[in-house]
Amino acid sequence: MKHVVDKMLDTHQSLVHSEGVKILSHTQREIEEWVQHTITIEGCDAPFKFKRTKKYRSLQGQKVNMTYYPETETVAGFDFEIMKVVRIKRY
């Protein structure tokens, strides 16, 4: 029997799954009715972003499993690589 993550990875070729990564920072800010979460992980310079309807307790210092895909975001005419998180769970 396949796990949910395995099914997602088979269906979407650009998805990446990481297990047991340590979160260095976690910020939350409200954007209209959503809360934008931005995290950075150990060993990676690109920010990881996801939106939820409410705030969560801080994930800073925690280990998590994440499923995400790379994306490019343009800010003030400059392109930045970000990772869009589609699934995140505590390790």
pLDDT band at 2 (very low <50, low <70, confident <90, very high): low
34-49 per-position pLDDT tens digit: 999 999 999 999 999 9
Give residues with Cβ within 8 angstroms of 80, minimum separation 6: 72, 73, 74
pTM: 0.85
Q: What domains appear along the chain, each with residue ranges and CATH number? A: 4-90 (2.40.50.140)
